[in-house]
Chain A
Amino acid sequence: MASTIWRLRCGGLRLAKATKAQSLHAASRYRLAKSGARAAQLASFHIDPQALKLINAVPKEMAREISAEMVPHARALVPRKTGELAESIQSSETPKKMIVFADAEYDPRESYAAHVEFGTQFQPPRPYMRPALLAAARKVVPVLRKHYDRLARGGSISARHVIRMKGRKW
């Protein structure tokens, strides 16, 4: 499982625990890809094992590409006073996920990064992380999708077909 999440921290206290990249549903896409593959097997489709391997690698690479794209976007969007908050926006990789976080320590008692993103009672929100995530996903996902479609074409089922087999409510 791989997903891109973002965090806002201040003073060592994690204030926004882990906001998942909903717009991508990277983790659920992975599960859907797997269940889609199972459905295809039940329907007697042949799935090239190599194609399946590539499909399963999609979420992780996608998360990595999006994170790399997201950091400069977020830095460009964040309101600047001293630039400390912008500089604190970074990404890191763990075995299971990519994390993009902001961690400016203006005052350990206050969650400055989160207050800028989410706003306060009297201060309107000035989101910079979520718009950056959406922008990065819009840019990266179609490119990667085409790339994997092309790679998976060797098998009798494409990444796109597997991803589309997901049986949502509508």
Chain B
Amino acid sequence: MVIDATAALSAYLLADAPLKALVGTRIYTPRLPKNYTAATAAISFRANGAMDPDRLFAPGAGAGKIAQGFAFRCVSTTFLSAHAIYRALYDAMMAIDNTLAAGVLIYTADEETGAQDIVDADTGWPVVLGQFTVYFRNDA
């Protein structure tokens, strides 16, 4: 059966101590709760597809491995604090190295884009966007 990549990543991030110090357990997927207010920092992320470059360049390579893209939104009251969350998130993602989370082996993660600032059109909250591709072992 195909692994639940989102649940595995969520479990991994919730267990990361520096990230927990900044956002607590407020790591949501695929979006923030409707009644959420930016007074407390939070992260939301959603899976948005990916392509394993190994399979693209060398068909047959990387068997048993899946690549999954995730778009992150780091929300806080100011861009400075939102960037602090992004940095903690970046560190957590870069620390992934054959890490086991929720019974799933996560091989590694690549940053797809640097932090991108955006003001949410609905709420005016400062949001820092990030995009990572994460590689999982599919049959673990």
Query: Contact between B121 and A110 (Cβ–Cβ < 8 Å)?
Result: yes
**Which of A69-77, A79-87, A88-96, A125-133 faces chain B?**
A125-133
Interface code B104-135, partner A: CB below 8 Å = 1, 0 otherwise?
00011011111011111111010001010101
Query: Contact between B51 and A23 (Cβ–Cβ < 8 Å)?
Result: yes
* CA distance in complex: A115, B120 (Å): 8
A17 in complex: contacting residue of B73, B98, B114, B123, CB < 8 Å: B114
* CA distance in complex: A137, B67 (Å): 15
A44 at the interface (CB under 8 A from B): no
* CA distance in complex: A123, B121 (Å): 9
A47 at the interface (CB under 8 A from B): no
The 4 A-B pairs at the shortest CB distance, nearest first, are namely A22-B112, A23-B51, A19-B113, A120-B122
Query: Contact between B49 and A134 (Cβ–Cβ < 8 Å)?
Result: yes
B65 at the interface (CB under 8 A from A): yes
Could you write out 7 A-B pairs with CB less than 8 Å apart? A15-B117, A23-B51, A23-B69, A123-B121, A163-B57, A170-B65, A170-B135
Point out residues on B near A: beta carbons under 8 Å. Answer: 31-32, 34, 36, 46, 48-51, 53-54, 56-59, 61-62, 65, 67, 69, 71, 73, 97-98, 107-108, 110-114, 116-123, 125, 129, 131, 133, 135
Q: How far is the CB of B109 from chain A (nearest CB, A)?
A: 11
With contact pairs A19-B131, A115-B121 given, residues A141 and B57 touching in the complex (Cβ less than 8 Å) = yes
* CA distance in complex: A27, B121 (Å): 33
Query: Contact between B118 and A16 (Cβ–Cβ < 8 Å)?
Result: yes
Q: How many A-B residue pairs have CB under 8 A?
A: 106
Q: Which of A1-57 contact B (CB under 8 A)?
A: 15-20, 22-25, 29
Query: Contact between A24 and B108 (Cβ–Cβ < 8 Å)?
Result: no
Chain A's closest residue to B49 (CB) is A134
Query: Contact between B56 and A137 (Cβ–Cβ < 8 Å)?
Result: yes
Residues in A whose Cβ lies below 8 Å from that of B73 = 118
Chain A's closest residue to B61 (CB) is A164
With contact pairs A19-B131, A169-B97, A169-B107 given, residues A141 and B58 touching in the complex (Cβ less than 8 Å) = no
With contact pairs A22-B50, A169-B107, A170-B107 given, residues A164 and B57 touching in the complex (Cβ less than 8 Å) = yes
* CA distance in complex: A22, B57 (Å): 13
A121 at the interface (CB under 8 A from B): yes
Q: Known pairs A121-B36, A170-B107; list 10 more (Cβ under 8 Å).
A: A17-B113, A19-B116, A22-B50, A22-B111, A24-B53, A29-B53, A118-B71, A120-B121, A130-B49, A142-B59
Query: Contact between A15 and B118 (Cβ–Cβ < 8 Å)?
Result: yes
Q: Which of A90-143 contact B (CB under 8 A)?
A: 110-111, 114-115, 118-125, 127, 130-131, 134, 137-138, 141-142
